Structures are given as C-alpha cells and as structure tokens.
Amino acid sequence: MKKVAVFCGSSLGFSDVYKNDAIKLGDYFAKNNIGLVYGGGKIGMMGVLADTIIKNEGEVIGVIPGLLRHEEVAHNNITKMIVTKTMSKRKVKISRLVNGYIALPGGFGTMDEIFEALTLNQLGIEQKPVGILNTNGFFDYLIKQLDVMVNEGYLKQSNKEMLIVSDSIDDLLLKMFNYKAPEKTKVTNKVVS
C-alpha cells in the first residue's frame, strides 16, 4: 500500500491512549514509506497524526473542502494540500488517491467516512482494505452493532468481514496488506446527471 487514507477525530479525546496510538501510526507510516491522505486539519487526532509524519519526513496529503480551508483548522505545514469544491468531491478525491482506509477513534465525521469506504467495497465499486484500530476497545460497541445488523438480516456476514479490526498497528497493517477482496458483486450503474 503506497497511500492510505486515515479518518480520525478532529478532537483528541479525553485519554492519552488515543493520541499515543495516532503518534505510533504516524511513526509506522513514515518508517514504512506509506503516504498519508487525510482531511487536511491541524486539530485533534488529525493534527497529531499529520505532525508526526511530517516530523519523520514522511508524506502527508490533505484533501480539504474550500469551506474549511480558510478556517483556523487547516494544516499549513504538510507535503501537499488539495482543495475541493464540496465535501462529497473530497471523498471522491481521497478514494482516487489511496490503496486502503483506516479509522482511528473519532466522531460523526470519522464514522461517515469509514462507512462510505465500506459501502463502496460492499457494492464492489472499490476493492480496498478497510481497517479500524480498536485502541482501548473504542469500537467494541460499533462491532456489536454490526453483529445486530447481521443477526437481524440487514448486513451479510461476508460484508461484515470486509472490516478489518485490530488493536495492534502492526497486526492491522499486516492484515490490510494481505487483504483479498471477496468476489465482486455485480452492480448496475445508472448514469444520472
């Protein structure tokens, strides 16, 4: 994987364990020459991750919608910043740049982005590994909710298994490197303007 998108909180969270894992992931990316593609912010988990990679002379590409660019939150010291017209164009741009996706702890924005990546895989539009770093069991309830979806007939077990989960960075990345997408689902693409 040359470039990986990381979605994570614009907040830091209350416990240092989350920030520490963002730093560890940044170190891993820089050491293994994996370029980071992310939301372009300098705040919260996003800022810590980007700063760590820049400090270690790695590659950081921010993709930010024009709307947020001029706010205090945009990072001003990364390898490259791409500005998109809208939030949805940002997602498309990110997906074109990366070979995989990771979520670290975060809130609505993080959930929105990682579930969009899973949905693209479920529909067979993309075949890229999607992982979550389950620091401190942060995602345990989310994983339980996915089981509810499977048990109640709203999510196929095989689609649930697309999501790679680990609380160890080395293990998560290894699983992502070895990921084999399930047989492609047939999708009928209707063209709408």
For ligand AMP, the binding residues (CB under 6 A) are 7-11, 39-41, 46, 64, 68, 73, 106-110, 113
- Burial of 171 (C-beta count, 10 Å sphere; 0-12/13-18/19+): middle
Q: Which two three-digit tokens encode residue 74?
A: 């945009």
Minimum CB distance to ligand AMP smaller for 35 or for 40: 40
CB 62 within 8 A of CB 38: yes
Minimum CB distance to ligand AMP smaller for 30 or for 74: 74
Separation CA 35–CA 72 (nearest Å) = 24
Minimum CB distance to ligand AMP smaller for 7 or for 28: 7
Sign of the alpha-carbon dihedral angle for 140, 146, 150, 156: negative
Minimum CB distance to ligand AMP smaller for 50 or for 164: 50
Minimum CB distance to ligand AMP smaller for 41 or for 100: 41
Residue 146 backbone class (left: φ over 0; alpha: ψ -120 to 50; beta: rest): alpha
User: CB of residue 11 vs ligand AMP: minimum separation in angstroms?
Assistant: 6
Minimum CB distance to ligand AMP smaller for 11 or for 168: 11
User: CB of residue 37 vs ligand AMP: minimum separation in angstroms?
Assistant: 10
User: CB of residue 7 vs ligand AMP: minimum separation in angstroms?
Assistant: 4
Q: Which two three-digit tokens encode residue 4?
A: 């990986």
User: CB of residue 154 vs ligand AMP: minimum separation in angstroms?
Assistant: 24
Separation CA 49–CA 44 (nearest Å) = 9
User: CB of residue 184 vs ligand AMP: minimum separation in angstroms?
Assistant: 27
3-state secondary structure of 99: coil
Separation CA 83–CA 105 (nearest Å) = 24
User: CB of residue 188 vs ligand AMP: minimum separation in angstroms?
Assistant: 30
Amino acid identity of 100? G
